[in-house]
Amino acid sequence: NLQNVKRGPARSFFVPEKGHLMVGGDQRQAESRLVAYYSKDENYIKAAESGYIHLNVMKDVFGEGFTKESKEYTITKNLNHGTNYGLGPWGFARLANIPFSEAKEKQEIFYGKYPGIKKNYYAYVQDCLKKTRTLYNVFGRRQIFFSRIDEDAFRKGYAFIPQSSSGDITKKALKKICKHYRVLLDLHDGLIISVPEKEVKYGVEALIEAFDIPFKIWDVERRIPIEISVGENWENLKEVKV
């Protein structure tokens, strides 16, 4: 599993062929965006579409005066991802390495700021599982839950829709881009391709087009934007503005 190769020197061993550069495309906070769209929560959608969801949620939960370098930012990332998937205060406390009382307080603030997550997203998943034991992602891929329909099943359901949808976007993009460029890495929510040094501009355009995959949630057409990065190896990929 390439996602187990942590950031650092080990990634420098992943290189393209001579005369080529790596061009990467990563979905921009895809899972949080998908949860936001299902939640119908305007504040959470706005935070997600800003491209800086963790910063915006941190401001709502902790207040002003914190940055990406603050420990509160790491806590907020755990709060976002964990709470979206039904993680309770004990689990969040362990994940973020904070006291239970603080974890409970921050989750209550989170749910208060973004009530649509419980009211709409959680409720939708629970209703589907109780009635049919079945969920579909944004492309119609089906998952049947054969286990007991309890809190554990609900948590798995909360995770299935955004995680499988993000993965399917990557696979659809891979199917398109592999006709034009060699795919070096498939990373669930992104791809890295090999592009001749003189064709980087065209490789970037091709990757953006490959990830331009529309889908509908509540009859509204949506897309997940991507971040583009370029470099001589996997470790040294640098984000570029397009």
User: What mean pLDDT value characterizes the chain?
Assistant: 95
> Is-contact 32 39, C-beta < 8 A?
no
- Residue 190: strand pairing partners: 26
Which pLDDT score, from 0 to 100, does residue 87 have? 94
Q: What's the confidence (pLDDT) of residue 1?
A: 63
For the beta carbon of residue 184, count every other beta carbon within 10 angstroms. 19
CB 117 within 8 A of CB 32: no
Q: For residue 24, list its beta bridge partners.
A: 192, 229
Question: Tell me, what's the pLDDT at 107?
Answer: 97
Q: Quick one: which H or E segment has residue 198?
A: none
The low-confidence residues of the chain, meaning pLDDT below 70, are: 1
Show the domains of the chain with their CATH numbers.
1-28+162-241 (3.30.70.370), 31-116 (no CATH)
**pLDDT of the residue at 139:** 98
**For residues 17 and 174, what is the distance between their CA atoms, to the nearest angstrom?**
19
DSSP 142: E
Helix (H, G, I), strand (E, B) or coil at 238: strand
pLDDT at 4: 74
What is the pLDDT, as a whole number, of residue 5?
78
In this predicted model, what pLDDT tens digit does every residue of 107-158 receive, in sequence order? 999 999 999 999 999 999 999 999 999 999 999 999 999 999 999 999 999 9
Per-residue model confidence (pLDDT) at position 17: 94
pTM of full prediction above 0.95: no
Nearest to 11, CA basis, from 28, 24, 20: 24
